[in-house]
Structure 1
Amino acid sequence: MVSSRAVPNLVFRQLRGARSAGEFAAAVRRAAREIGEQVACDARYIGRVESGEIRCPNYAYERVFLHMFPGTTLGDLGFPDRESVRGRSARTRVPAAWRPLPGDTAPALSVPSDIEESDVLRRVFMTSGTTSVATASIGLGAHRAAGTPIVLPAQRRAGEAEVRSVEEAVREIRVLDDQHGGDGLYRRAAQPLRAAYALLDSGTPTRRTTADRLHAGAGELALSVGWLAHDSGRFDDARSYYAEALATARVAGDAALEAHAFCNTSFLARDAGRPREAVRAAEAGQRAARSVGSHRLLALLALREAGGRAGLGDRTGCDRAIARARAAFDRGPAERDPEWMSFFREAEMHLLEAQCWSALGDWPRAARHGRRATALQDPHFTRNLALYRAQLAGDLARAGAAEEAVRSAHQVLDLLDRVRSTRISGMLAGTVRVLGADREATAVTGLLERYRAVRKG
């Protein structure tokens, strides 16, 4: 259902010209590949833009559209100013539902400068026809009290609107995670996930394609919520969500979802100190990914394997896995690349290589890749900016480059008013401990004082 506030984007419709929505979507995907972007554009997406349901594209689509129509702005393409879409009130306060629940030990989410309320997250499932469908809220939703049970009519089957809502919830959670990290989002993001699985339990759609999309959407939502748990240090919760996604993939026979689940499981195992499990999960993911047709997916899974082998101290095996990853990555993007992999660019390759060499104790080599990662990183991925700089600061500190490490650590602190990630905070704490041994250096003393002040604040 399109919001009553939606205003058709007639300018964008005129730009499409005589091409069908499907033909135009194909042109968008081609343009994305030309600039190294990954967008899963289809006729449905184009229709939603033209109808006004999508008021402003995300940053990846923005870059693609501006590449397709050089010299234009979003306004020239019929989109309103991004800030007007977000709304002033959304930028000056944090939705109450994103603050920690009673008993939650995660720190409160600081007021970000660019957080936007999302209709998809505030109301994941909408009213369709005369039958009420479940609603789930992780945003404001004042009409719905926190913890209200989600009830689905047993006789209703999920349709196109409900499946689309699940898919949009996945996209929006990923965008917010890219900007702010997992700590402030995790508890609320689980609510739409429960509603998605309730839809599966209420009866899968009669159309096979719609049923497949619902299973894939529910699985991807489980992985997104699991990642928020992972990033906020809740490893047991993350493991459970990743297992749920893997089970969904197996039931649906979805190789792409299965590969994604194994990819996340491998990453979690590495972070949890189980490197052998990380290797096995990455190898299983590579087997599943062979039928997907995405070299980039195989590259990421090879890097997950490399991370596990580094944790085992297997330098030769790690080096070989990195070489396989680089060869696959260099074959370029493809139409079959999963949408969730939009973050996996050259910068991420260097970051993951840096983590491997760091685990093997080769700090100078890790720092070289870390510098390259920070230089290449897209500024729109705020959480990754903090992550890459935290990794670099730690490697520099251990390599004995204290002054450069201090500069990188200050850059991480600059971002912590917008990014809340237990993982990044832990990395920074480790760096501060290493640098603390050199208290005589004025730069180090200044960093330690600022770090203590930020922690108290």
Structure 2
Amino acid sequence: MDVKRWLEGVQPRPATATFIAEALSRKAGVKFSLEDVGMGGVITPATLELGLEYTAAAPKVGSQLLGLTRRDLAEDPLAVEATVVPSAWTQPLLTWLLSRPEPLPAGNGIQVNVGDSDIRAVRMTTQLFMKLDFQFGGGHARAALAQYYVRDVSPLLEGKFTEAVGRELFSAAAEVAQLLGWTAYDLGRHGLAQRYMIQALRLAQAAGDRMLGGRLLGNMSHQANYLGSFQQSIQLARAAQEGSKGIASSTTMASFLAMEARAHAGNGDDRACSYAFREAEKIFDSRNIGDDPEWISYFDEAELAGEGAHCFRDLRKPLIAQEFAGHCLELTDPFYARTLSFIRLVQAATYVHQSEPCQAVALATEAIEIAGSLKSKRYLRYVSDLCTDLAEYRETHDVGRFLEMVATKYPAL
């Protein structure tokens, strides 16, 4: 009965699949992998860890990403609940930082001929998914994004293309993988996000896209800071800066410096944070939007102000944080619901830090209204952190009502 189900495409448990591959290997005298026996979709701890490898063979990255996305789509607990391995950031950081231009062999696949129009389609589709992420959170349309990689992007990587087209293709595919990683991070799937980001960085390196590689290191820095790995966050942000000097646009470099400032703030280093943030402001003021890639278009004056608000909130400098938060709220397009919710909650925290809990509650209530049905674990953490800050004021009428409302609306908290 089990064999019949497997032949019909039902995947066995990881341990069973491994036993089958081992038994067939002993019988044939040849080492068979899970992919060789048609069970590559089965996830095991060993196959999941391939996502942490920064492979020397660039063409292998596409298949490793395909494995991740399939497991992501299957909601396999080993993938969804994978943990972050902090030490796994080190090799990609150093390898990317010290890398030199590498030859990218032309594709010789037979399934599809890849041209410029295919790459434009990938980039435009990625931008559409990116807008959905900003407006509705990383949990919205993630399955569609993963399916898009599996069905539309992965076959292109196996297709036929010239070296020049191949570099653009790898860069475009890296953008898709970056967004898969970012949305996984926003949804709280941190181990999966780390693996997507590492593979995306390898694609960017193969493409020779140093600016996009810097962005991926900046994203890794953002995640490391969120998880409390402040020193690694600083290193990742600095690697983004050093590895793209003379190449990154001013806007992009300002975003890398802002990530470093955020990490210093999380680490409680006021002086280093202020220095990095001033440098970010200085470089941002000299920017020419015409130099920017499309994917950095979100990083405008409002976004930089928002980074400042986070920095000075973490440093417990509420008045300065409020100034940045107010500037951000004035300039942010209402389209960016997640950003507006974040900044309202940052602003609320600064009022708690000044012992004004009722004002904090008023702002937090606005943030929750703006968020609506936002699917973002990061947003929920902002709410949770604020509730923790407000706990000492729970006997205050307004605070008590707010805490009750949050408990009703977000029972998981």
The answer to whether TM tops 0.5 is yes
Q: In the alignment, which of 270, 277, 293 is matched to residue 315 of structure 1?
A: 270
Q: In the alignment, which of 182, 189, 192 is matched to residue 138 of structure 2?
A: 182
Matched, 1:237 2:199: no
Which residue is 1:344 aligned to? 299
**Local SS of the residue matching 2:297:** helix
Backbone CA RMSD of aligned residues? 2.5
Looking at structure 1, the residues matched to 238 and 248 of structure 2 have their Cα atoms a distance apart, in angstroms, of 16
- Residue identity in the other structure for 1:371: G
Which residue is 2:35 aligned to? none
Q: Which runs of 5+ in 2 are unaligned?
A: 1-72, 81-108
- Residue identity in the other structure for 2:154: A
Looking at structure 1, the residues matched to 152 and 214 of structure 2 have their Cα atoms a distance apart, in angstroms, of 21
Task: Spell out, residue by residue over 1:42-97, the C-alpha distance to the aligned partner (whole angstroms, 9 max, x if none).
Answer: xxxxxxxxxxxxxxxxxxxxxxxxxxxxxxxxxxxxxxxxxxxxxxxxxxxxxxxx
- Residue identity in the other structure for 2:145: A
Looking at structure 2, the residues matched to 333 and 322 of structure 1 have their Cα atoms a distance apart, in angstroms, of 19
- Residue identity in the other structure for 2:115: G
Please say which of residues 163-172 and 264-273 is displaced more in the overlay: 163-172
TM-score normalized by the length of structure 1:
0.63
Which residue is 1:353 aligned to? 308
Structure 1 residue 101: Cα displacement: 7.2
Structure 1 residue 182: Cα displacement: 0.6
Which residue is 2:347 aligned to? 392
Between the two proteins, the alignment pairs up a number of residues equal to 312
Which residue is 1:246 aligned to? 201
Looking at structure 1, the residues matched to 224 and 394 of structure 2 have their Cα atoms a distance apart, in angstroms, of 35
Q: Mark the CA change 1:279 to 1:456 in structure 2 (over 3 Å): closer, same or farther.
A: closer
Percent of residue pairs identical: 27
Question: 1:39-438 residue pairs with structure 2 within 5 A?
Answer: 154-195=110-151, 198-206=154-162, 208=164, 210-438=165-393
Looking at structure 1, the residues matched to 188 and 148 of structure 2 have their Cα atoms a distance apart, in angstroms, of 21
Q: Per residue, is there more helix in 1 or in 2?
A: 2
Looking at structure 2, the residues matched to 292 and 348 of structure 1 have their Cα atoms a distance apart, in angstroms, of 22
Q: Which runs of 5+ in 1 are unaligned?
A: 1-99, 107-152
- Residue identity in the other structure for 1:372: H
Looking at structure 2, the residues matched to 410 and 308 of structure 1 have their Cα atoms a distance apart, in angstroms, of 28
Looking at structure 1, the residues matched to 332 and 153 of structure 2 have their Cα atoms a distance apart, in angstroms, of 35
**Local SS of the residue matching 2:276:** helix
Task: Spell out, residue by residue over 1:148-196, the C-alpha distance to the aligned partner (whole angstroms, 9 max, x if none).
Answer: xxxxx84423233432331122111111111101123334322222345
Answer whether contact 1:157 1:202 (CA < 8 A) is retained.
no
Looking at structure 2, the residues matched to 279 and 244 of structure 1 have their Cα atoms a distance apart, in angstroms, of 21
- Residue identity in the other structure for 1:282: A
Looking at structure 1, the residues matched to 153 and 379 of structure 2 have their Cα atoms a distance apart, in angstroms, of 31
Looking at structure 2, the residues matched to 288 and 197 of structure 1 have their Cα atoms a distance apart, in angstroms, of 27
User: Looking at both structures, which has the greater relative contact order when contacts are Cα pairs under 8 Å and sequence separation is at least 6?
Assistant: 2
Structure 1 residue 366: Cα displacement: 2.2
Structure 1 residue 358: Cα displacement: 2.3
Answer whether contact 1:225 1:241 (CA < 8 A) is retained.
yes
Task: Spell out, residue by residue over 1:121-141, the C-alpha distance to the aligned partner (whole angstroms, 9 max, x if none).
Answer: xxxxxxxxxxxxxxxxxxxxx
**Local SS of the residue matching 1:313:** coil
Please say which of residues 262-271 and 342-351 is displaced more in the overlay: 342-351
Structure 1 residue 425: Cα displacement: 0.9
Answer whether contact 2:351 2:360 (CA < 8 A) is retained.
yes
Structure 1 residue 448: Cα displacement: 1.8
Looking at structure 2, the residues matched to 347 and 177 of structure 1 have their Cα atoms a distance apart, in angstroms, of 18
- Residue identity in the other structure for 1:290: K
TM-score normalized by the length of structure 2:
0.70
